[in-house]
Amino acid sequence: MSSDAYKFDIVNGQVTAAYELDDGVWELEPLDDDGGESYAVAANGDVLRTEIEPYGTEITRYADTDGDGVYFRIAESLSPSGNFNRSNKAFKFDVANGQVTAAYELDDGQWELKSLDDDGGESYVVEANGDVVRTEIEPFGTEITRYADTDGDGVYFRISEQWVISPGSGGVAPKFSGELRYSPTDDDDFIAVRAGEDCRGGRGADDFVIREAAHLRIADFKSLDDDVLVFDTGLGLTSREHLASFVSGIRQDDSNFIVDFGSNVSITLIGVASDQISWDDVSVLS
């Protein structure tokens, strides 16, 4: 459940005004700031917000569970459009006596067995809430990945990762050691950008942290919301100018803005036009 609080004015079953609590003050929210947003009141009193985005239709459900007039965001779903292929990586785990005994990743519709410890530096822990936490020792420090089965169907998805940098680690290392999310909130988030993942931001000012050289797709990037592309690859990048020297092409494909770094690496910003992005929206950490 989101910790962000909301209120709604409802007349004859219609939402006539929406408010969000900001620093103790109820701030009026625009009901339709771009023509693609609508609200509906469900039979049980929940409020449903539907927003049309370039990458698809996003539906958010708000509930007032204790009847005090204050709502909290309890669920969010996305129906992708044709130009955004949702492809979250899925995992399963065999758990016995609170220990992970086998791990699987869905690959082309088949569950493929993964090695639990391929190099002696990998371990899994099952937490009290059922989340699985994978810890792997890397040259720069420790990589911690959290997996959750939110609907209880036995299929897990990555919900966060954190790279803890060891002091004095050799070579070039990533700089950011905070937690990266795989799903957005209405707050300012640090979003993990990974190949094969449904990468999108929320309503706050989001940092999209890029750590691998692959074909990456990012939805809901908005320069006007102060979103930023953060390159923290650990590959020795020193500046935006240094990064720009590797760009082999910049192009517009329908409503998508694409930057190519050779034939095997690219970044696609879904629904972004060329005049909606600049180098001022890029930060280089490593």
- The pTM assigned to this predicted structure is 0.74
Contact 246, 266 (CB under 8 A): no
pLDDT of residue 3: 65
271/277 Cα distance (integer angstroms): 11
pLDDT of residue 214: 93
- Of 176, 179, 211, 187, nearest to 197 by C-alpha is 211
Beta strands in 23-89 (DSSP E): 25-29, 37-41, 47-53, 56-63, 71-80
Mean pLDDT of 135-158: 89
pLDDT tens digit sequence for 64-118: 989 999 999 887 776 666 555 556 789 999 999 999 999 999 988 889 998 887 6
The mean pLDDT value of the chain amounts to 88
